[in-house]
């Protein structure tokens, strides 16, 4: 038996006690969005500090203006071994509407889901208590066999992720030197399916803009002024219609600066994935891809930037009919960014383009709604390669590299404040009902997630 086999065997033997730990943590009602549960959030933080201390970490509860942060440190077996920051969150979503739960959301249990499938039920089992414990239990098994770790490890658990993380960024800024590492690991993502693990190598950034066009100083009768007075809805429509050309590409000058092509091998993997999920559009009543022509569905949602119109208002939209020329029209537009696109340059390009479309006697104003860059872990990163190989040894199908269509703000903060990339891998499934009644986590996801982290820790720490 090799060293790694011995650690995996210990993880298997520890599974009953690992589940006991998860159950105890799930029973703590750490709902961050409701101030009534603030003491429960503090209890969850304290519980994790005790568990980390039992494993051999120097762990502490750290105060913030909101719920506390848990920070823990563990030295590796050698001074020059890789330094990893592992992130998770101990807070959970509210359970409302409670009547839709088939069982007590804070009394976890293992239940039979049919076809030999066992699930762990309860709020937070998947998001994120079960996920973060897969890592901690892997560390515990590794230490029990080897006595130490092949990596230097810092752990950071927050208690406000489900309420927008208002205290985390200030905490990162104030403690950057302590928290900075070679790279971060985040276990708050999902697998492609129950047999295929995934590493999320990219997240799209976001620019949110509101554009307001004002023409006349009041609404006008369309019979008396129609055809002679500027119509802000016409002007706004022209702006929005011109954002894309006939091929679906975004027309803003400089928009594609910093956008790189996905490597051919990754594209081929994505094409094979698409063949396993043909119902992506038909499930929502559509049949044809929109967006840039010549791009695959997964490429469009994972690796290409977008310009989307999220809302339009102006004029009379109530019941009946009113022949009015509105004095004002507004639209909300969002841009999803990839690669090294600069969100501030995208914002200014949109504003300059919009100004160019507005007549001299009309006014255009803007309101910003956030700007964050995309995140891209290099596809040829040694850490990614090691993690992918490690996962492929554990699961029935090889691990795949995927992208994320949305954003995870903490990953951007790790890049901008701590100067490090993040490896995102998790073991939740699409049917885990995260944020919904009857949340669950597959027992296999929990068990094999622990084994997966054992393999990743071992691979990343190898010379």
pLDDT at residue 104 above 80? yes
Q: Give the torsion sign (CA, 445, 446, 451, 452).
A: positive
Bridge partner list, 58: 73
The pLDDT assigned to 274 comes to 87
| 1 pLDDT tier (thresholds 50, 70, 90) | low
Cα–Cα distance, 300 to 289 (Å, whole number): 9
CB 185 within 8 A of CB 135: yes
Cα–Cα distance, 286 to 155 (Å, whole number): 44
CB-based contacts of 84, cutoff 8 Å, min separation 6: 151, 152, 153, 154, 181, 182, 183, 184, 185, 460
Q: Where do the domains of the chain lie, and which CATH numbers do they carry?
A: 3-203+375-461 (3.40.630.10), 206-267+289-372 (3.30.70.360)
Q: Give the torsion sign (CA, 17, 18, 21, 27).
A: negative
pLDDT at residue 330 above 80? yes
Note the Cα 247 to chain centre separation in Å.
29
Lowest mean pLDDT among 11-15, 365-369, 407-411, 426-430: 407-411
Q: Give the torsion sign (CA, 61, 415, 428, 308).
A: positive
Question: What's the pTM value of the predicted model, to 2 decimals?
Answer: 0.88
Cα–Cα distance, 461 to 392 (Å, whole number): 17
pLDDT tens column, 129-174: 999 999 999 999 999 999 999 999 999 999 999 999 999 999 999 9
The pLDDT assigned to 47 comes to 98
pLDDT at residue 8 above 80? yes
Average the pLDDT over 434-452 and give the result: 97
Q: Name which of 16, 206, 168 is nearest 91 in CA terms.
A: 168
The pLDDT assigned to 41 comes to 98
Cα–Cα distance, 331 to 210 (Å, whole number): 6
pLDDT at residue 123 above 70? yes
Give the percent of the chain with pLDDT over 90: 89
pLDDT tens column, 40-55: 999 999 999 999 999 9
């Amino acid at each position: 038996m090799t060293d790694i086999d011995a650690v995996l065997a210990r993880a298997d033997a520890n599974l009953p006690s690992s589940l006991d730990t998860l159950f105890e943590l799930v029973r703590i009602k750490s709902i961050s969005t409701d101030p009534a549960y603030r003491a429960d959030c503090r209890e969850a933080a304290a519980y994790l500090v005790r568990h980390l201390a039992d494993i051999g970490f120097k762990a502490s509860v750290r105060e913030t203006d909101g719920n506390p942060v848990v920070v823990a440190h563990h030295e590796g077996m050698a001074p020059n071994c890789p330094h990893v920051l592992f992130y998770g969150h101990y807070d959970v979503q509210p359970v409302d509407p409670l009547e839709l739960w088939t069982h007590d959301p804070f009394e976890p249990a293992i239940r039979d889901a049919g076809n030999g499938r066992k699930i762990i039920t309860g709020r937070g089992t998947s998001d994120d208590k079960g996920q973060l414990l897969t890592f901690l239990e892997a560390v515990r098994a590794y230490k029990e066999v080897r006595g130490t770790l092949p990596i230097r490890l810092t752990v950071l658990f927050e208690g406000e992720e489900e309420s927008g993380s208002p205290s985390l960024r200030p905490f990162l800024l104030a403690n950057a030197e302590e928290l900075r590492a070679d790279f971060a690991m985040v276990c708050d993502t999902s697998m492609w399916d129950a047999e295929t693990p995934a590493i999320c190598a990219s997240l799209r950034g976001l620019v949110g803009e509101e554009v307001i066009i004002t023409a006349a100083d009041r609404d006008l009768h369309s019979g008396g002024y129609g055809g002679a007075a500027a119509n802000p809805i016409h002007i706004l429509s022209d702006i929005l219609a011109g954002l894309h050309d006939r091929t679906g590409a975004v027309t803003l000058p400089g928009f594609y600066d910093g956008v790189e092509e996905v490597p051919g091998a990754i594209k081929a993997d994505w094409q094979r994935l698409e063949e396993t999920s043909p119902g992506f559009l038909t499930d929502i009543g559509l049949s044809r891809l929109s967006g840039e022509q010549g791009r695959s569905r997964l490429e469009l949602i994972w690796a290409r930037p977008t310009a989307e119109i999220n809302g339009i208002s102006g004029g009379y939209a109530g019941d009946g009919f009113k022949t009015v020329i509105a004095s004002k029209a507004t639209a909300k537009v969002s841009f999803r960014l990839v690669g090294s696109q600069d969100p501030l340059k995208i914002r200014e390009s949109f504003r300059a383009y919009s100004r160019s479309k507005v007549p001299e006697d009309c006014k255009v104003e803007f309101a910003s709604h956030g700007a964050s860059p995309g995140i891209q872990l290099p596809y040829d990163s040694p850490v990614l390669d090691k993690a992918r190989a490690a996962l492929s040894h554990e699961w029935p199908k090889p691990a795949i590299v995927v992208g994320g269509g949305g954003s995870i703000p903490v990953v951007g903060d790790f890049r901008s404040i701590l100067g490090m990339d993040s490896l995102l891998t998790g073991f939740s499934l699409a049917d885990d009902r995260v944020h919904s009644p009857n949340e669950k986590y597959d027992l296999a996801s929990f068990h094999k997630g622990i084994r997966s982290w054992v393999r990743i820790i071992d691979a990343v720490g190898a010379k």
